[in-house]
Amino acid sequence: MNTRHPVAATLAVAGYIIMIVPILFVVATAFTDGETLSFPPQGFSMRWFGEALSYQPFVGSLVTSLEIALLATLIALAVGVPVTLAIHRGALPGKGIVENLFLSPLIVPELVVGLALFQQLIVTFRIDNWPVLLIGHTALLLPYAVRVTGATLAGTDASLEEAARGLGASPMRTFWTITMPMLRPGIFSAALLSFITSFNNVPLSLLLQSRQTQTLPVTMLDYVQQSYDPMVAAISTIILAATIVIAVIAERTVGFAKIFGGING
């Protein structure tokens, strides 16, 4: 702790406590043997984890969330990386306008985006909810793909690519041998942030869902409104554990400094 700035240090500790303590309450409640959400837990039991993993609405919506998050992340990267290259390395006219266009989903409220997609694609054109949900999540993730990979690319040395082309390398070979290794931390971080953002999204998913295409966060929200047992705490703890595992893998493979350092660049 930095003793030179005691006020800032105290606020930082208070912030950590505010964020972490409620999570600890949820985790502790997940192991209760009682029938309702209560703290302190009434005994110790793992039965609510079994209940959560065998509850079909949770399992089905988990599959939907994973499918949407994975596909939306892949599509956003497939579109965002070429756009980033065109903005930072190409002779694209109106680069600022193009970049702002792809960053606009960060500015427009998700409810507005969701309502527009619902009105135009589902109501007007009668498109099924699943592809519209995928379109909405992809649009939501495009700013991460463009902004994060762009921050990484802006911090690289373009002369390395020029040197490779000067030595006779084709544009494709230059991309795979020079540009892609430099972009890899940015792509990894954009993929990680995009997947988590899509998986945890509620406002957009709530507007574009149907009974057959509910995502896990929306299903959990509906369940909390109807029941007060610890099953939601159990599934939340499972998601938290999976997030920690992903974070550990990310730290071991790339490192958080490389993953998130470019975002502030």
Condensed to tens digits (0 to 9), the pLDDT of residues 39-89 reads 788 888 899 999 999 999 999 999 999 999 999 999 999 999 999 988 888
The confidence band for 218, taking pLDDT boundaries of 50, 70 and 90, is very high
For residue 188, the Cα-to-chain-centroid distance in whole angstroms is 12
In a domain, 147, yes or no: yes
What integer pLDDT is reported at residue 254 of this predicted model?
64
For residue 77, give the nearest of 137, 138, 153 by alpha carbon: 138
| 11 within a domain of the structure (yes/no) | no
- Residue 240 in this model has a pLDDT that exceeds 70: yes
Range of the domain at 258: 56-264
Kindly state the tokens that stand for 167.
Answer: 């030595």
**Residue 75 corresponds to which amino acid?**
I
Q: Residue 21 domain-assigned?
A: no
Q: What percentage of the chain exceeds 70 in pLDDT?
A: 93
Q: Write down the pLDDT at residue 80.
A: 92
> For residues 167 and 109, is the Cβ–Cβ distance under 8 A?
no
Tokens 């490389």 correspond to: 258
Number of domains in the chain: 1
Residue 258 has pLDDT above 60, yes or no: no
Q: Is-above-0.75 flag for pTM?
A: yes
Cα dihedral 118/120/126/131 (nearest 10): -60
How many degrees, rounded to 5, is the angle at CA 19 between CA 18 and CA 25? Answer: 90
User: What mean pLDDT is predicted for residues 156-163?
Assistant: 82
Residue 252 belongs to some domain of the structure: yes
Residue 215 counted as domain residue = yes
What's the pLDDT score for residue 261? 52
Give the residue from 52, 60, 61, 51 showing the smallest Cα distance to 206. 61
Contact of 110 with 203, CB cutoff 8 Å: yes
- Rounded to 10 degrees, what is the CA torsion of 78, 82, 87, 93? -110
Q: Alpha-carbon distance 32 to 200, whole Å? A: 25
Say if 187 falls within a structural domain.
yes
In a domain, 158, yes or no: yes
| 250: CATH | 1.10.3720.10
User: What is the DSSP code (8-state) at residue 38?
Assistant: -
Q: Does a structural domain hold residue 2?
A: no
**Distance of alpha carbon 245 from alpha carbon 242, whole angstroms:** 5
Average pLDDT in the chain: 86
Do the Cβ atoms of 235 and 149 come closer than 8 Å? Answer: no
b/e map 14-34, b = 16+ CB within 10 Å? eeeeeeeeeeeebbebbbbee
Res 265: pLDDT: 46
Q: Which two tokens stand for residue 7?
A: 């006020």
